[in-house]
Structure 1
């Protein structure tokens, strides 16, 4: 995730980050510029259309559709941001639940080797979940003496959660924790799987294809018809105007595409790896 100062306007305006949409759209912007020049040349120089040509009135269509496309892009951006923000809240919940479980165990458990087991296993859940959501293979996770063998053909976070449940059950059977304490700890363990399921819902449920495809087609045909009408009022200045309009509309769609799946390694995705490292640090401090 990009770290930045939101009050530094100069940096925002004149600096182009590697994830900036300008870099991604530059080839298409060149094509749109050449296309706009070709339309302007044909209408003004080759066909020599007059101001009375009905082609000039095509701008009426753009005025009517401009409101529609703005509504679509606002909805698209808000939907993608909601998914990004929900993912951040879920990982914040995982941080708090990991701390709460560690705090309770630090008070309940008296033997050092039991505390050390959870000191390694609780952070491993966040680490495995991070790799699971990012589609990374997790055959083996090492935590300073604790080796977790993960079966690639089974749900990886569930395997770690089962180890946590198993250890808690063993402690209960050994009389090291009471029935009431077992119920208290059970709530924290349940929350781990709830967070995992909610993250998977975001990961595995993209924006419907027909909706995303329609927006892309709408933007494309909207932009490709702009030069026909505006060349009469702007002349060859229609080239930078159309390119800029394309940059704005297409950038909104690209931003939405990037943040709607917040668990990968894109520049604007959630720093889940860093959050998992913080969970490990905090749990080790508590236990």
Structure 2
């Protein structure tokens, strides 16, 4: 019997922003009333994920920054994995030399070299505001940095940059694609899957009692770890191949369909 549901956000629970459909909210509410813990695991910043958690009615710890930070809704940090300052500066210098866009997250604040189309798109999609601080400013803001994010124009460009970054830093960092335009850089060993294991342990839930839902490559680790893995109808092929079951698309409220079928049915 499922006791813990952990869900991705973008492309899984909601298309963008923080607005969750009434159908998904109702399904989450029914699951909680049935004694199930419902929470989120996302690549988003904690402060960008928090409004979604509140809209969903989540009161459990949430996994953010792709597993680099687990923090309660009230703000208590339960786990963190921050990047080493010297390694941050090394990556920034390399990316600057390539002429790529990158943004950083220090102490749950968003920073980028200069305001541009990439920062504008990100802020609009995540409903957060960042600050342009220049390349030197990025290199100086290395406290509590959970991840770095390269934003590109296409999936092919993202894959090409990931390959280059892995060749240069793959022995020291994990570089994953979270959607077509995002290449995320975190510490080795950091993943949503590890976040799920840590959270289940904190809550006293066994892995077979967990269910995870996702759509993108950065969800693979959590889907591999979960007792029951659910691919969204809009998921990338690698996710669909891995998962135990497939539900409807994000736009079709496939999330609610999955909760009704695999969590609430027969309870």
- The TM-score bracket by the shorter chain reads under 0.3
Greater strand share, structure number:
2
Larger radius of gyration: 1
Q: TM-score, normalised by structure 2?
A: 0.24
Structure possessing the higher relative contact order (Cα contacts under 8 Å, 6 or more residues apart): 1
- TM-score normalized with structure 1 length: 0.23
> When you count helix as a share of all residues, which structure comes out higher?
1
